[in-house]
């Protein structure tokens, strides 16, 4: 058969460990036989990021601004344990996702991929819950340090005119740790607009939650901007019969657990990180989650929302075949190919991506799945646990 031709490249961001192995397997078995794949490749593997002093991450984000659509593999954000595992590292590099999100200034929308044979662990949930995660600032763009002696920490802001504003954080009698985080009005406003637009586009209610009772200024600023922006959307929400409301994060958690689902839950950066994992796990698996970063100027970065599956990778290095779920990575590719097809007016590329998604879901519906899903599936669906290679082969047959 003649391969589908692309006109504009995708920005391809390769990653780490087991997801890197699956990345190449998906390309070789499910994409390259059918698509004349055109990508601008960036290796965001931890060691290459270290070699380039993380410049490759910055370059990849700027490439998204140029080409408009990216697909990203899962990557390692090093901690102290990773510094021991990878002694070549010269620095505990920041999250590549955080770097990319800061440059693109977008919102991450994450939603579970559901199948009939796996029921949510929250019995009231009947429809998927989409997490809208602010993708800039907070702890992901923070400065932090440790002090050993008694003293006082003071936060100072110097404006463009040279005037200073300061506030005492705390006086301490001994060792302490300090964290300074920020956000910007323009980024929060972009976040609010993206959430309202996405709610209108998908015709879903929008919930937004922070902790403005405690963080009266910081979180209160988020709430005030959302309230301001909603005035521009209120009439359209009313016309569609959908709702926007604000509540505290702890109240939102209680409401979500008691809900039927089928809405968008907008969260600040860290809250969205944690709650998207909770929602995806409750619906089935972290590997059953779509994730797309949407920037205000219309750029898209599709990714797998889970980690690099380190435990499986060490088994793989010993020559073992692992039952690692590739669905989220497959859907990152299909999301990017669909969007590339839409933007470039290539219906055959968009159609191919839809067929690949259907082949993947049909494989799951047939009871053929990786072990993380097989243990969750209803017994009447007769789940058959296979390894990742067998699973991808089964998708390839249906494709």
Last-in-domain residue among 283, 311, 343? 283
CB 212 within 8 A of CB 248: yes
* 95 and 22 inside one domain: yes
Mean pLDDT computed over 250-279: 94
Q: Is 211 exposed, middle or buried (0-12, 13-18, 19+ CB in 10 A)?
A: middle
Cut 0.75: pTM above it: yes
Kindly state the tokens that stand for 369.
């799945």
* 352 and 368 inside one domain: yes
Mean pLDDT computed over 163-191: 95
DSSP 28: I
Mean pLDDT computed over 252-278: 94
Mean pLDDT computed over 346-351: 98
Question: Are β-strands 289-294 and 300-304 bridged in parallel, bridged antiparallel, or unpaired?
Answer: antiparallel
* 12 and 25 inside one domain: yes
pLDDT tens, residue by residue, 194-238: 999 889 988 999 999 999 999 999 999 999 999 999 999 999 999
* Pairwise CA distance, residues 42 & 356, whole Å: 24
290 domain-assigned: no
Reply yes or no on whether the pLDDT at 1 is more than 80: no
Reply yes or no on whether the pLDDT at 380 is more than 80: yes
- pLDDT bin (cut points 50, 70, 90) of residue 274 is very high
* Amino acid 361: pLDDT: 96
Averaged confidence pLDDT in the chain: 94
197: CATH: 3.90.190
* Amino acid 284: pLDDT: 80
Give the C-alpha distances (Å, rounded to integers) separating 110 from 115, 117, 202, 274. Answer: 16, 21, 13, 12
* Amino acid 88: pLDDT: 92
* Amino acid 141: pLDDT: 87
- pLDDT bin (cut points 50, 70, 90) of residue 306 is confident
Residues spanned by the domain of 45: 1-108+299-399
* Pairwise CA distance, residues 370 & 384, whole Å: 8
How many separate domains does the chain show?
Answer: 3
* 207 and 124 inside one domain: yes
Q: H/E element holding 191?
A: helix 185-202
* 255 and 126 inside one domain: yes
What is the percent of the chain with per-residue pLDDT over 70, rounded to a whole number? 100
* 379 and 351 inside one domain: yes
251: CB partners within 8 A, 6+ apart: 209
């Amino acid at each position: 058969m003649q391969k589908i031709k692309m006109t504009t490249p995708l920005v391809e961001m390769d990653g780490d460990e087991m997801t890197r192995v699956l990345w190449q397997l998906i390309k070789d078995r499910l994409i390259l036989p059918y698509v004349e794949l055109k990508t601008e490749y960036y290796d965001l593997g931890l060691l290459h990021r270290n070699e380039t002093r993380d410049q490759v991450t910055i370059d990849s984000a700027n490439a998204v601004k140029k080409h408009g659509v990216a697909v990203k593999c899962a990557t390692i954000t090093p901690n102290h344990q990773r510094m021991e595992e990878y002694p070549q590292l010269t620095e505990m590099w920041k999250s590549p996702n955080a770097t990319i999100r800061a440059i693109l200034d977008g919102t991450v929308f994450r939603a579970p991929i559901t199948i009939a044979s796996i029921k949510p662990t929250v019995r009231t949930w009947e429809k998927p819950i989409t997490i809208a995660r602010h993708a800039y600032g907070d702890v992901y763009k923070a400065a932090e340090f440790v002090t050993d002696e008694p003293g006082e920490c003071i936060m100072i802001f110097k404006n463009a005119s040279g005037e200073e504003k300061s506030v005492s954080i705390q006086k301490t009698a001994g060792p302490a740790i300090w964290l300074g985080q920020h956000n910007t009005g323009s980024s929060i406003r972009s976040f609010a607009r993206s959430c309202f637009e996405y709610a209108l586009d998908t015709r879903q209610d929008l919930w937004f939650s922070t902790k403005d009772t405690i963080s009266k200024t910081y979180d209160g600023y988020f709430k005030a901007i959302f309230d301001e922006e909603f005035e521009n959307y209120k009439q359209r929400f009313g016309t569609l019969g959908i709702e926007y409301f604000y509540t505290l994060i702890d109240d939102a958690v209680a409401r979500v657990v008691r809900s039927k689902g089928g809405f968008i839950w907008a969260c600040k950066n860290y809250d969205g990180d944690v709650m998207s994992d909770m929602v995806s796990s409750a619906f089935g698996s972290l590997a059953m989650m779509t994730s797309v970063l949407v920037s205000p100027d219309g750029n898209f970065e599709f990714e797998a929302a889970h980690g690099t599956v380190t435990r499986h990778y060490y088994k793989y290095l010993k020559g073992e075949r692992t039952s690692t779920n590739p669905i989220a990575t497959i859907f990152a590719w299909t999301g990017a190919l669909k969007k590339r097809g839409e933007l470039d007016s290539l219906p055959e590329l968009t159609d191919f991506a839809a067929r690949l998604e259907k082949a993947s879901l049909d494989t799951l519906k047939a009871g053929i799945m990786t072990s993380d899903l097989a243990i969750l599936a209803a017994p009447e669906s007769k789940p058959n646990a296979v390894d990742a290679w067998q699973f991808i082969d089964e998708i390839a047959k249906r494709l």
